[in-house]
Amino acid sequence: MNNKDFKLDDYNYGFNDGDNAIIKFPKGLNEEVIRKISEIKNEPEWMLNIRLEAYKQFLKMPNPNFGPDLSFIDFDDITYYSTSSKRTEDEWEKVPENIKKTFEKIGIPEAEAKFLNGVSTQYDSEVVYKKIADELALQGVIFTNIETAIIEYPDLVKKYFGKLVPYSDNKYAALNTAVWSGGSFIYVPENVVLEKPLQAYFRINGMKTGQFERTLIIVESNSSLHYVEGCTAPIYSENNLHAAVVEVFVNKNASCRYTTIQNWSKNVLNLVTKRAKVLDNGNMSWIDGNIGAGLNMKYPASILAGYGAKSDSISIAIGSSNTIQDVGAKMIHLAPNTRSSIISKSVSLNGGDSRYRGKVVIAKEAINSISHVECDTLILDDISRSDTIPTEIVNNSQSSLEHEAKISTISDSQLFYLMSKGISKEEAEFLIILGFIEPFVKELPMEYAVELNRLIKLDMEGSIG
């Protein structure tokens, strides 16, 4: 499909369903709101106590002292809980019709049938549908929402919840811990290899609505998991706040791949904390696509706590008009013979602002460790910008860290070569961008790679050429 033939009408994610909430809290945050959320979920007292302590911490904590200015956020002008469904269904036919139509437009039922082992869909504050393949359930794999996990697997939740991202970590982790709702809980027992991905999809529908899902993943020894999440929201003139927390525990000889295709509308403020802990010879991969969101701060982190642990992060960020992409990754080496790699690709166009903000620390005890960082930026015009802001610390002389950074533009010679083959200028520019982000695209399942191409074309429309 030629870029000039791609119109906004071809893209279905910017629609909204109107206000169809059956429960919707008034705007504003106080202790009563937190108690009501806990009451709706029939939570045990220990979880309510965690929420209340986190709320106290939230009130004390300042905004981050780095990155974009967040002082404009009015926490009293946000709805902290909204749901359009009475319960979470495990049969698609039982999902409320209006919500079902929304996810059918996005393609959830088709994706589930074709290539997923399980799927979970969240609409505003609650998971409305979840399903896992029967054969996985028989192997002891758990894929559900956090609310269900607290009731059915309380010991597991208590053991891991908040251990990697405590509410004292940052202001938005404290906010999430106080008002969290929905999200995924995944447990993969020892010696279980999932051949197909599990997927979660997060949709914000309401205006000035916050979404605060909580994801907790445990992959036991000698097991593997690929988890995929997608995100969309309607186009509004007012901001929505998305502040999620993700905790991933990768045990000995286990592996986890966490793929995100973020496609928020530009009225979404995306402020998330994602962190993994990797034990002996475990492997954690972050595959992170950042498109849309007016303001995006996201730095997936891996703590390499076991001998021979490995982690890589491959990300793209598209900074187009009226967007700030402040993204990167963090790798913390605590044990010997650990390995990490960060590949960050960013594209800035039409006045967009893309920034790599990363951190690599190799501890004194983490001898014979290696880290490689590669930051590449493609700037497509004179009004866009990009920055690289790394922090890199090596505390022993037996380890090594490499950092490469490159900023480039589309050259006249590249365009001339492609156009000499009969390709239009617009399509040539698009092909050059796809070649630039190829290290990221090749890590995606085919269905997601095709959709990513569509999203980039949408962002490019009318911006270059």
Average pLDDT over residues 145-156: 93
Pairwise pLDDT comparison (217 vs 231), residue with the higher score = 217
pLDDT tens digits along 269-314: 999 999 999 999 999 999 998 887 789 999 999 999 999 999 999 9
- 25 pLDDT band (50/70/90 cuts)? confident
pLDDT tens digits along 183-199: 889 999 999 999 888 87
Most confident option among 42-51, 128-137, 283-292: 42-51
List the single range of 204-213, 270-279, 428-437 with lowest mean pLDDT: 204-213
pLDDT tens digits along 345-354: 998 888 889 9
Q: Is the pLDDT of residue 36 over 70?
A: yes
Average pLDDT over residues 321-333: 93
Query: What pLDDT, on a 0 to 100 scale, did the predictor assign at position 351?
Result: 86
Pairwise pLDDT comparison (84 vs 244), residue with the higher score = 244
- If DSSP states are collapsed to H, E and C, what string results for the chain? CCHHHCCHHHCCCCCCCCCCCCEECCCCCCHHHHHHHHHHCCCCHHHHHHHHHHHHHHHHCCCCCCCCCCCCCCHHHCECCEECCCCCECCHHHCCHHHHHHHHHHCHHHHHHHHCCEEEEEECCEEEEEEECHHHHHCCCEEECHHHHHHHCHHHHHHHCCCCCCCCCCHHHHHHHHHCCCCCEEEECCCCECCCCEEEEEECCCCCEEECCEEEEEECCCCEEEEEEEEECCCCCCCEEECCEEEEEECCCCEEEEEEEEEECCCEEEECEEEEEECCCCEEEEEEEEEECCEEEECCEEEECCCCCEEEEEEEEEECCCCEEEECCEEEECCCCCEEEEEEEEEECCCCEEEEEEEEEECCCCCCCEEEEEEEEEECCCCCEEEEEEEEEECCCCCEEEEEEEEECCCHHHHHHHHCCCCCHHHHHHHHHHHHCHHHHCCCCHHHHHHHHHHHHHHHCCCCC
Please give the model's pTM, rounded to 2 decimal places: 0.85
List the single range of 115-119, 176-180, 284-288 with lowest mean pLDDT: 115-119
Q: Is the pLDDT of residue 414 over 60?
A: yes
